[in-house]
Amino acid sequence: MTESIRNADVLIIGGGLSGTMLAVQLLRLPGQRSILVIEPRAELGRGEAYSAVELGHTLNGNAARMSVDPDNADDLTQWLTDYIGAGGWPESGQQHVPICELFPPRGIFGLYAQQRLAEARTLSASTVEHVRGEVVDLHVEDACTLLTLDNGQQLRGTYAVLATGMFPAARTPQTESSGLNAAAVDPWDVQTMTQIDPQSTVLIIGSGLTMVDAVVSLEQAGHRGPIEIFSRHGLLPHVRRQPPSWEDFLAADHSLRRPRQLLREVRRQCRLAQAQGIDWQAPLDTVRAHIGRLWSQASEGEKRQFVRHVRPWWESHHHRSPPLSAQLVARLQREGRLRIQAASFKGLVASNSGVAIRLRRRGEQVVTQVSGAALINSSGIEYDWRRVARPLPQQLLKRGLIQPGPLALGIAADVSGAVVDAQGNVSPRLFAMGPPLRGMWWESTAVTDVAIQAKALAAKLSQI
């Protein structure tokens, strides 16, 4: 019934970090507007990434790199200084480094985001309210957007924003993916891992940062047996260090545009740094600020070439592991307990005890079977919304309100985040930010990227 429909100026779909940062930026703007954040979890600001409770599950960037305030790079460092000074996170003193170099636990970072939202609320004439539920359908009308939640409730807003965050990976057909996810242990569920035989073999699919968290979880659960890791390229994340500053060579030379040109120059700069006794991560870190420009000006063929041939090495070199977690992985490798192999996952095998999987090792044609006591799926994020088994993405695609983004990474949008529908029309009512715009900017998941997008989108919504 229409009288049961709630109204707001802005509907934010997703109350993890992306949606929370957008809410904060809207609250900071002059004027008075009503904002509803639709999020199934009990708390805003955490999402899946920052709901972790174990201190060993840390950010993969130090405090100086992880501010949620695009106008103050030291915001997290300042907040942590006060938090630690008040007695929070006493374990941080064991690391003997400046606060700006600490890698905070994910749960503490979630608290930081929540407090910034609370502060913005107290200083604003606008209002933010958490509506707990999952959006299962969305209509775009001439003058508004209309959302339907899983409990049947409807919300009407002048604008709606897809701040859905990340979806679990599904690199196999969905029937197999569902079976994999059902058979696998959550990478962050330490309590469930305590029920695994501590001397047994654990299998992990994927070798990125989620795998690193999974190994930390196993260690905290008391597991002391073998860990077998399988990924298509067999690459581990490098450890994140704190290199000195390096000249921004891409700012000085805009003729470097094509992926091969960029790759050659990055390698040259890294060799030059090493020849001077400087960490190779220093020149690589300067590339970060130019990724959006480089990606957007590349042709579709160049983007495809990058994803096919460069992406695994970009991910392992750029998305690095926090030092303490990397030390654990390295120690387990030295002890012979952790082994990584280049192999593609081909499916589950019925097993009366434990779990068994089918693999094809790199360079081989034969498919082999591997067994273990437990399986952890750490294969990353699914960016192709056509493969996301959730009601909202499926309904948006069915209605033609969205179309896949470049290379099926996320969804299509214009530079402001306005969503492009299946007919190529730019929506005046529906917007997106964060991970859904992966295809637009390539790097659209890091805290600093999302913070910048949140500020720009808030300004856009306040003007139209």
Tokens of 175: 């029937």
As a CATH number, domain 2-57+105-168+383-463 is 3.50.50.60
Distance CA(176)–CA(379), nearest Å, equals 14
Distance CA(449)–CA(433), nearest Å, equals 10
Distance CA(109)–CA(70), nearest Å, equals 16
DSSP state of 4: G
Report pLDDT digits (tens) over 182-222.
Answer: 678 989 999 999 999 999 999 999 999 999 999 999 999 99
Which region holds residue 458: left if phi is over 0, alpha if psi is between -120 and 50, else beta?
alpha
Q: What's the pTM?
A: 0.92
Fold: same for 2-57+105-168+383-463 and 174-238+320-379: yes
Residues 301/191, Cβ–Cβ less than 8 Å:
no
- Look at residue 263 and tell me whether its pLDDT is greater than 90: no
- Look at residue 175 and tell me whether its pLDDT is greater than 80: no
Q: Which CATH class is domain 174-238+320-379?
A: alpha beta
* β-bridge partners, 230: 205, 341
Report pLDDT digits (tens) over 103-151.
Answer: 999 999 999 999 999 999 999 999 999 999 999 999 999 999 999 999 9
Distance CA(434)–CA(422), nearest Å, equals 20
Residues 158/164, Cβ–Cβ less than 8 Å:
no
Q: Give the CA dihedral 250, 256, 259, 263, nearest 10 degrees.
A: -60
Domain ranges of the chain: 2-57+105-168+383-463, 174-238+320-379, 249-318
